[in-house]
């Protein structure tokens, strides 16, 4: 239960932060300001093509060596790694939603005097979010499963618990394996159900 609660906790924290950062990055990528577009593009391309294990390694081992010490060792480095990694995928999902909004919507917003920020926040993004919900839910489900990478960095979540239990009870290894897999399903299947309901509603 400790492993399950920890996995849910890190998934919730990282999901919220990744959605916020991903939305900011998506705004940068569609911004008319060149440097912002460049920064958003470079960030997404760099982070999305970096292995998640390498991200964990940096925040767990490299960051503390240069003075970046987290208050809760294990939890916050894992949360930061998952947030930064997942935000690039959130950005692309949301950007595809922005691209699906008809160009006439933005032109109409500009014609009544709205600025770029007002047009994006009041007209484009609300419509883009509805289109982006299905891929966003898939990204967040993937984030939940990616928490298992933290097991390789001395963070006690479900996979770490599985390894400990299997070492202590080798004859029950198969049951432990299926039990841990079931706990992941307990988290991810409801997310899929919620995604379907939200998609139908909006």
Q: What pLDDT does residue 180 have?
A: 81
Sequential pLDDT tens for the chain (202 residues) = 777 888 888 889 999 999 999 999 988 888 878 898 899 999 999 998 989 888 888 888 888 888 777 776 678 888 899 999 999 999 998 888 887 777 777 778 778 887 777 787 778 888 888 788 888 888 988 898 888 887 666 565 667 677 778 778 888 778 888 888 888 888 888 887 887 787 777 6
For residues 77-87, one letter each, b for 16 or more C-beta atoms within 10 angstroms of the residue's C-beta and e for the rest, the string is bbbbbbbbbbb
**This prediction's pTM:** 0.79
Return the C-alpha torsion angle 108, 112, 117, 122, nearest 10.
Answer: -70
């Amino acid at each position: 239960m400790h492993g399950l609660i920890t996995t849910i906790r890190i998934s919730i924290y990282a999901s919220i932060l990744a959605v916020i950062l991903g939305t900011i990055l998506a705004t940068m990528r569609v911004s008319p300001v060149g440097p912002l577009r460049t920064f958003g593009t470079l960030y997404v391309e760099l982070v999305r093509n970096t292995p998640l294990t390498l991200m964990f390694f940096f925040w767990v081992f490299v960051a503390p060596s240069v003075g970046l010490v987290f208050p809760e060792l294990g939890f916050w480095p894992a949360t930061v790694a998952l947030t930064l990694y997942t935000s690039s995928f959130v950005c692309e999902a949301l950007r595809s939603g922005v691209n699906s909004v008809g160009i006439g919507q933005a032109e109409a917003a500009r014609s009544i005097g709205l600025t770029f920020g007002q047009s994006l926040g009041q007209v484009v993004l609300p419509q883009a979010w509805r289109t982006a919900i299905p891929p966003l839910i898939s990204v967040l489900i993937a984030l939940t499963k990616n928490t298992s990478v933290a097991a390789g960095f001395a963070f006690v979540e479900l996979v770490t618990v599985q390894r400990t239990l299997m070492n202590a009870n080798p004859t029950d290894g198969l049951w432990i394996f299926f039990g841990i897999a079931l706990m992941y399903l307990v988290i991810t299947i409801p997310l899929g159900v919620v995604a379907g309901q939200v998609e139908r509603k909006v």
